[in-house]
Amino acid sequence: MLLCCLTAFCLVGSLSCAAVPMRDTRRAQPTRNKLLLISFDGFRWNYDQDVDTPNLDKMAKDGVKAQYVTPPFITITNPTHFTLLTVIHNMWFNTTTQEKKGYYMTQFVDSYWDNGSLPIWITAQRQGLKAGSLHFPGTAATYKGETVRVREVEPRLYDYSNETEWRLNIDKVIGEWFHQQDLDFVSLYFGEPDGTGHRYGPDSPERREMVQQVDRTVGYIRDKIQNHGLTDRLNVIITADHGMTTVLRGAQVEEIILYKIPGFNFSDIQFHLVDYGPVGMLLPKDGMLEKVYSALKGSHPHLHVYKKEEMPAWLHYSKHARLLPIILFADPGYVINGFFPVQFNKGEHGFDNQVMDMKPFFRAVGPDFQKDLVVGPFETVNVYPLMCHLLGINPEINDGHLDNTKQMLLPKKNTEACMTAGQTVSRVSLSLAWLSVKNLLQEQKAVHRCFTP
């Protein structure tokens, strides 16, 4: 049996069983600021360039904007929200039973998420902070026997585009969780503009309208923060998991359909994961690996076929045992079909993470961030150590580094240096005071001698 498994994008660091930290039940220092992480699924790095976005623009003016950020491969929702070490797919699968589960049902399969890495929710709780998560991928799961203590999982068949629901969720997070319950960290997820980008395409008027809805929501979030007196106590990071590109179709486009490839036969395959965008995986039957690989390799000008151990190193998608032996991925604009085309999205993601259309956006604002600062691109794995730094918690082992994001932070006073300087000043002052007293006593003695018979 082979199961799909994930670890976390900007939420998680790796953790071995032998390295589980002792629980720290002490509350955080009261001077530590709170942190809200928000993901707008599928918000491409340049979606604000063809739409008027006054609230996102003001947020950039009041804080930090990155040119873009680079997600991990593969650039789809679950891996990019929850990936450092074992990136696999949006699908949970069992190669023995042929069972597959889509995104919503995977939320309740702990083994899918609890794979040796620890989300920042749990790390924060173990170090005395109070954490919450609303709709963020992985919220429902249990990790090493623990769950995020304040949480809400979206209902099945949830309308991810409902702006009224968005505002109710914001009221809950800002008004109840941060203001009333005094939480230290919350992750908040919105399923747009991803859904609109898939359905209508990234260049559609519908997508532009959804970006305007996102912008209104950013304004609503910041207003609520101000209304509850949290502006000087709450840092906000807003980003996304991936971007979006247009799917190429029409008479001039040769679609990728595996069934039509000469020499390839699904009867040689024990298990397959195709028809889910531009990435697929195959488990050939015993003795069929070379036959399947030879048939597919070079069969289509826009299809890349690799044995998993031969995957390009920069993709970091080759070494985990749960990856299937043959990995397929398509060039931008193409999707991988099995027997016949069943994918009809006008927009898609999951392509090479170096493709510009796959890059998401990034904004940050709050008491610990610089103002009116534009920074260069960085990888999303670096958001995790940044968040740990802001929360004042020790991170788990992870692939990011604070050096890649610290330029966006305000310089902190060197408390230790100030204390040392203060101690030096105090010692000098005491020494001078003692010298003054000593001189005064000597003068008094001299006067006393002068008037003593």
Tell me: the pLDDT tens digits for 296-336?
999 999 999 999 888 887 776 666 667 889 999 999 999 99
Give SS3 for 329.
Answer: strand
| Nearest by Cα to 334 from 234, 418, 250 | 250
E strands, 91-159, are 92-94, 99-101, 117-119, 131-134, 150-152
- Residues 258-269 have a mean pLDDT of 96
Say if residues 272 and 338 touch (Cβ distance below 8 Å). Answer: yes
Residue type for 58, please? K
Domains of the chain, by residue range, sit at 12-245+352-408, 256-344
pLDDT tens, 153-197? 999 889 999 999 999 999 999 999 999 999 999 999 999 999 999
- Residue 35 DSSP SS3: strand
Predicted confidence (pLDDT) per residue in 56-112, tens digit: 999 999 999 999 999 886 656 554 545 433 344 555 566 666 666 566 667 766 666
Instruction: Look at the chain and count its residues.
Output: 453
Q: How far is CA 359 from CA 37, 129, 315, in A?
A: 18, 32, 14
User: Using 50, 70 and 90 to split pLDDT, how confident is the model at 113?
Assistant: low
HSE toward the beta carbon, residue 347, CA cutoff 13 A: 24
Rounded Cα distance between 65 and 59, Å, is 8
What pTM was estimated for this model as a whole?
Answer: 0.82
pLDDT of amino acid 80: 52
Q: Which pair of structure tokens corresponds to residue 155?
A: 């209902």
Cis peptide before 257 (omega within 30 of 0): no
Is the CB of residue 112 less than 8 Å from the CB of residue 131?
no
By annotation, the residues acting in catalysis are 77
Measured distance CA(216)–CA(308) in Å, rounded: 44
CATH superfamily of 12-245+352-408: Alkaline Phosphatase, subunit A (3.40.720.10)
Separation of alpha carbons 111 and 180, rounded Å = 33
On the question of pLDDT at 121 being above 70, the answer is: yes
- Give Cβ neighbours of residue 154 (< 8 Å, ≥ 6 apart): 135, 160
Would you give the distance in Å from CA 84 to the centre of its chain?
10
Phi, psi of 235 (to 5 degrees): -85, 140
Closest of 11, 337, 53 to residue 193, by C-alpha: 53
**How confident is residue 412, by pLDDT bands cut at 50, 70 and 90?**
confident
**Could you please report the per-residue DSSP string of 345-358?**
-SEE--S-TTSGGG
Is 141 in contact with 197 (CB distance < 8 Å)?
no
Q: Which two tokens stand for residue 434?
A: 């003692």
Q: Return the minimum-mean-pLDDT range out of 89-98, 192-201, 210-219, 437-446.
A: 437-446
* Two structure tokens written together for 303: 């299809």
> Strand 131-134 and strand 150-152: pairing?
parallel
Element containing residue 224 per DSSP (H, E): helix 205-227
Q: Evaluate whether the domain defined by 256-344 bears CATH number 3.40.50.300.
A: no
Q: How many CB atoms lie within 10 A of CB 168?
A: 11
Preceding amide of 341 cis, omega within 30:
no
